[in-house]
Amino acid sequence: MARSLDTLSASQIRDGIVAGDFTATEVAHAALDAVQQRDGSVQAFLQVSPELALAAAKRVDDARAAGEELPPLAGVPLAVKDNMNLVGTRTTCASKMLGNYESVYTATCVRRMLDAGCLPVGKANMDEFAFGSSTESSAFHRTNNPWDLERVPGGSSGGSAASVASGEVTLALGSDTGGSIRQPAALCGVVGMKPTYGAVSRYGVVAFGSSLDQVGPFGRSVRDVALAMNALVAGGHDPMDSTSQDCPVDFTEHLEDGVAGRKVGVIPALMEAKGLTDEVRSAVQGAAESLRAQGAELVEVDLPNLDAAIAAYYVLGPCEAFSNLARFDGVRYGYQEPNCATLTEQSELSRARGFGAEAKRRQMLGAWLLSSGVYERYYLAAQKARTLITRDYAAAYEKVDVILMPACPRTAFKFGELSDPTQMYLSDLYTISINIAGNGGVSVPLGLGAESGLPTSAQLVGPAFRDRDLLTFARAVERGAAEAAGKDASSGVTALSVAPDFAGKGGEF
């Protein structure tokens, strides 16, 4: 019987290679075949890298032939967000500014996934420089949600989420500054984790908001995400990113511990927030009930300063982006306008023509917010709000182990539906405060919404460097969702699998 990558977990792929049931090269060809057959409609990739995937597969097969022990993600197909450097690929940030930029070194997070045996299938589409929640601001093309091609996959890591949801790859890397892993995971029905700030090195990842940016994985099950986390933290502190910390834990170790006797925070005000749809609210309430049924205690908590989170983020983020993106001046990196009379003209025209509308909006906003007189009113106020929000979370975590809330107020929206940027910004309500506080968060799929028929999800957030614990709760939510859908909950396969229109299209071997 033909096997399909759609139904294999990361560890099943490795185990099959170890057992000699199939080779990593066969897996690579199957993944490339799935991309070939599916990506014409999904458009998750900006660049496919068959040579790199096949070379990595050969290394795995050679290691097995030599009798070596295979690394934990041997032969697992991986998509890499296009703001992460990988030698042998361009790193474009989905911007004309970096359209021809060849990676000169490999980002630590990508290196670690490769060291764990992953096969790099390609670079995933994103919002330009990671500004956005829909992947519509990519300078190259849109990415379609595998559950409904007329809808967005979320963003900014929309290509990464869609590549996993469509079964083109088993794992993907994304980055999350204000929700860019958790929100697209929610809209595409996959698991997406933003680890605690500092858990994963950002060396080689193009910076957006340096006090907020964090790298994390997407997968179709909590267990796959835990295995990816193991790979990302292996090796500990990265001397090339001074914010990176040693987190020497095995993220799979307590996955099946259950949640009996644990405390789960719920925030009634957040469940009544404007814009939250009934189907997402009832899905999250269902997840809360399932945690209770598994023995957890639900405890009401309050985050009194949460109202300030979106405003604070949309001050801090643009200020940091303005500083980080100043390097794209048409001299050192990226697009250079030809035939300019002066250096100033070259810089101005390169920036004017290299950046898209949202990237310009953020940088202009950042420049203004940091100007004298304005800085005190907004930037300083946002920093104060940040302190208050961080304290709110710390106080809540004295009472509970984790907090359960939506990841996104609604299911996937149509292209162009949120055309006013502030409307798009407001949809980040549930994800942004976690980056502000620097804590971890994970989005877990809950099954299809009663009204939209599209994936719904819940988000679990936890204290700093308790990301392993967070995954124990995520696994319990996943188990509950699988049971509710009448699926085998023990298998570790998520409640939702590959989007039905794509399952079985290529990827067999």
Cβ 216 vs Cβ 138: under 8 Å: no
How many residues are given for the chain? 509
Q: Between 205 and 474, name the residue whose CB sits nearer to ligand GLN.
A: 205
State the DSSP code for 69: P
Task: Tell me the two tokens of residue 169.
Answer: 């790859």
Instruction: Report the C-alpha gap between 243 and 311 in whole angstroms.
Output: 25
DSSP assignment of 332-353 equals SSS---SS-SSHHHHHHHHHHH
Binding part of the chain for ligand GLN, among 128-136, 347-355, 364-372, 384-392 by CB under 6 A, reads: 128-136
Task: Tell me the two tokens of residue 488.
Answer: 């085998």
Binding part of the chain for ligand GLN, among 38-46, 178-186, 245-253, 409-417 by CB under 6 A, reads: 178-186
Question: Please, what is the minimum distance in Å from the beta carbon of residue 208 to ligand GLN?
Answer: 6
Question: Please, what is the minimum distance in Å from the beta carbon of residue 135 to ligand GLN?
Answer: 10
Cβ 228 vs Cβ 171: under 8 Å: yes
Angle at 294 between CA 287 and CA 459, to 5 degrees: 30
The number of beta carbons lying within 10 Å of the beta carbon of residue 415 is 16
Question: Please, what is the minimum distance in Å from the beta carbon of residue 178 to ligand GLN?
Answer: 3
Question: Please, what is the minimum distance in Å from the beta carbon of residue 361 to ligand GLN?
Answer: 10
Q: Between 35 and 130, name the residue whose CB sits nearer to ligand GLN.
A: 130
Clarify whether 282 is annotated catalytic: no
Per annotation, catalytic residue among 11, 81, 427, 443: 81
Per annotation, catalytic residue among 11, 137, 156, 163: 156
Element (H, E) at 323: helix 309-324
Closest CB to ligand GLN belongs to which residue? Answer: 180
Question: Please, what is the minimum distance in Å from the beta carbon of residue 393 to ligand GLN?
Answer: 18
Task: Tell me the two tokens of residue 61.
Answer: 């097969």
Is 441 a binding residue for ligand GLN by CB under 6 A? The answer is no
Among 31, 32, 113, 130, which residue interacts with ligand GLN (rule: CB under 6 A)?
A: 130
Is 177 a binding residue for ligand GLN by CB under 6 A? The answer is yes
Cβ 150 vs Cβ 414: under 8 Å: yes
Which of 18, 37, 14 has its CA nearest to residue 508?
Answer: 37
Instruction: Report the C-alpha gap between 392 and 501 in whole angstroms.
Output: 43
* β-pair partners for 414: 151
Q: Between 366 and 506, name the residue whose CB sits nearer to ligand GLN.
A: 366
Is 440 a binding residue for ligand GLN by CB under 6 A? The answer is no
Is 317 a binding residue for ligand GLN by CB under 6 A? The answer is yes
Is 133 a binding residue for ligand GLN by CB under 6 A? The answer is yes
Instruction: Report the C-alpha gap between 194 and 206 in whole angstroms.
Output: 17
Q: Between 376 and 420, name the residue whose CB sits nearer to ligand GLN.
A: 420
Q: Where are the beta strands (DSSP E) in 195-326?
A: 214-219, 263-266, 297-300
Q: Write out the binding residues for ligand GLN, residues 415-434 only, by CB under 6 A.
A: 428
Question: Please, what is the minimum distance in Å from the beta carbon of residue 157 to ligand GLN?
Answer: 7
Q: Between 25 and 177, name the residue whose CB sits nearer to ligand GLN.
A: 177
Is 176 a binding residue for ligand GLN by CB under 6 A? The answer is yes
Clarify whether 103 is annotated catalytic: no
Q: Between 207 and 499, name the residue whose CB sits nearer to ligand GLN.
A: 207
Question: Please, what is the minimum distance in Å from the beta carbon of residue 416 to ligand GLN?
Answer: 17
* β-pair partners for 174: 216
Among 16, 71, 117, 178, which residue interacts with ligand GLN (rule: CB under 6 A)?
A: 178
Per annotation, catalytic residue among 180, 244, 427, 497: 180
Cβ 333 vs Cβ 327: under 8 Å: yes
Cβ 443 vs Cβ 220: under 8 Å: no
Is 413 a binding residue for ligand GLN by CB under 6 A? The answer is no
Binding part of the chain for ligand GLN, among 97-105, 172-180, 281-289, 377-385 by CB under 6 A, reads: 172-180
Question: Please, what is the minimum distance in Å from the beta carbon of residue 183 to ligand GLN?
Answer: 7
Question: Please, what is the minimum distance in Å from the beta carbon of residue 273 to ligand GLN?
Answer: 17
Which of 442, 422, 416, 466 has its CA nearest to residue 174?
Answer: 442
Instruction: Report the C-alpha gap between 250 and 228 in whole angstroms.
Output: 11
Clarify whether 180 is annotated catalytic: yes
Binding part of the chain for ligand GLN, among 105-113, 171-179, 295-303, 322-330 by CB under 6 A, reads: 171-179
Task: Tell me the two tokens of residue 434.
Answer: 């976690």
Instruction: Report the C-alpha gap between 260 and 295 in whole angstroms.
Output: 4
State the DSSP code for 293: H
Q: Between 77 and 132, name the residue whose CB sits nearer to ligand GLN.
A: 132
Q: Write out the binding residues for ligand GLN, residues 196-225 only, by CB under 6 A.
A: 208
Whose tokens are 């500990």? That residue is: 236
Is 132 a binding residue for ligand GLN by CB under 6 A? The answer is yes
Instruction: Report the C-alpha gap between 225 and 193 in whole angstroms.
Output: 7
Residues of the shown chain interacting with ligand GLN in the complex, contacts defined by CB under 6 A: 130-133, 156, 176-180, 208, 317, 428
Catalytic residues: 81, 156, 180
